Amino acid sequence: MMIDPKSCDTTVFEALLDARQRHGGSKLAIEDADRQKLDYNRLLLGSLVLGGRLTAGTQRGETIGVLLPNVAGLAVTFFALNAFGRVPALLNFTAGLRNIVSAAKTTLLHTVVTARRFVDAAKLEPIIAALEKTEIVPGTRIKIVYLEDVRAQIGALDKAKGFARSKYARRFHRSQGMKPDSPAVVLFTSGTEGQPKGVVLTNRNIVTNARQMFAHADGAFTAADVVFNPLPMFHSFGLTAGTVMPVLNGMQVVLYPTPLHYRQIPKLIREKHASVLFATDTFLAGYARAAEEGDLASMRFVVAGAERVKDKTRQLWDAIGTELLEGYGATECSPVIACNVPGRNHRGTVGRALPGMDLALEPVEGIATGGQLKVRGPNVMAGYVKADKPGVVVPPDHGWHDTGDIVEIDAEGFITIKGRAKRFAKIGGEMVSLAAVETLAANAWPDGQHVVVNLPDARKGEQLILVTDTAEADKDALLELARQQGFPELWVPKHILVVNNIPVMGSGKVDLAATTALVKQTRPLL
């Protein structure tokens, strides 16, 4: 299905107003683990009341840091800042002190919104202390604003103003200077290749991707669905796919503050009769294994992204009777680029591109088929903000974003990811996909998690090291399987490092930087 470009010529807050008009103000939009429930009327009014206090002392167009977990208060804060013409920068609270302070400096944050309860629970006191000492402008330090204090300051006059604004919400919002092509949010790359970069997404980017996903699903999503979202909103998958897309299309969203609670999440899915789940392969495998019989029976389908789906994960969900749909995206694309859908689910691929996107493949030396994927479309970011030029948005070259992924596209348009361009090793003159070697390891030990790291090798250029949490992993067994399945011996890792746990980031992706550092630390022992 195609989308009407005019439907995307709007801001996130205006799209929320449109959703309320279509689906009714009393329809439940958001619920969190604390049982706080927001229908569209309460979400709208809460945004206008909170926004009045939250933005006091700030300027229109200003970027404001937000350090909160998946709770209703984060959703209200996100829409509130948009309603009042401010730009939330969603800080990754799992990124560590150095990266969070770097993100604040890169985006010139003067204010960071958080909650005392969250700071205490997540033990973020050192990060808050470091932010409070950070000077964005000489002589001016970052101000920390606690939601508890803001709420305590809200009085009858604030509520009256919010109520009055809700009666002419669209006109009020437009008076705040927010436009479809204005920045709507700043998200951050993981920082695995240095300091994290800010990814500036416009209102049009976010709304378009939400519309693209719904249209691409071609009726698979309905307003009767309950979407369970455990993915943090500082990750674009959790923000757009897990929260904004369902809210703008009349689906109820159940927010959960961490994806790591493997036993609790299936039980809450059962309680809420959730029918759609967005998550990564790592988390989906964990939920399926931890669930008791019937916990996941309400699930119509699950959507996996951010990392490759393993065959074992598919088998687990097949046994439950739930279809697993693999998709693909990048923060720079708001994030979804492609996805499988019910009725057109080609396993092993990430589906076809969303409507309105242009794709181009650039040849890569040593890769016989496919190429490096570049994408263009209305969901592609406004640009990066980098640490060496704080506050300056650098747009993508002629609107094209280089994904850095090597892919193949078949005659029907289905995309197969062969691996990251940076995750190919050149061994003895041959290009070897680290992802393919990880698949070989997964075939050998399907219940484990496996990561392949490449390091310099004086004789062959590079060498491969398999990091795995499978205690019985053995090089000879892997070599024998490689022979049986037709893999070249060159692809078999030189060493195997067994660890208790593979490092994982808050978004669910494997932390490649931490895994590589782990290998380098233990390399003398291999």
30-72 residue pLDDT tens:
999 999 999 999 999 999 999 999 999 899 999 999 999 999 9
Secondary structure (3-state) at 165: helix
Say if 5-406 and 428-525 have the same CATH topology.
no
Annotated domain spans of the chain: 5-406, 428-525
C-alpha separations of 225 from 30, 106, 274, 346, 463 in Å:
12, 39, 7, 23, 48
**Domain 428-525 top-level CATH class:** alpha beta
Average pLDDT, stretch 482-504? Answer: 75
Residue 30 and residue 72 in contact, taking contact as beta carbons nearer than 8 Å: yes
**Residue 192: pLDDT band by 50, 70, 90 thresholds?**
very low
> Span 361-386, mean pLDDT?
87
Alpha carbon distance 381, 394 (integer Å): 10
Contacts with 301 (C-beta within 8 Å, 6 or more apart), sequence order: 220, 276, 322, 323, 324, 325, 342
| C-alpha to C-alpha distance for 255 and 232, rounded to whole angstroms | 9
The domain covering 5-406 belongs, at the CATH homologous superfamily level, to ANL, N-terminal domain (3.40.50.12780)
pLDDT on residue 207: 97
> What's the pLDDT tens digit per position in 398-451?
999 999 888 999 999 999 988 766 666 656 555 666 767 777 777 788 878 888
Closest C-alpha among 207, 247, 228, 67 to residue 77? 67
Is residue 78 predicted with pLDDT exceeding 90? yes
Cβ atoms of residues 298 and 271 within 8 Å: no
**Cα pseudo-dihedral 372, 347, 259, 23, rounded to 10:** 100
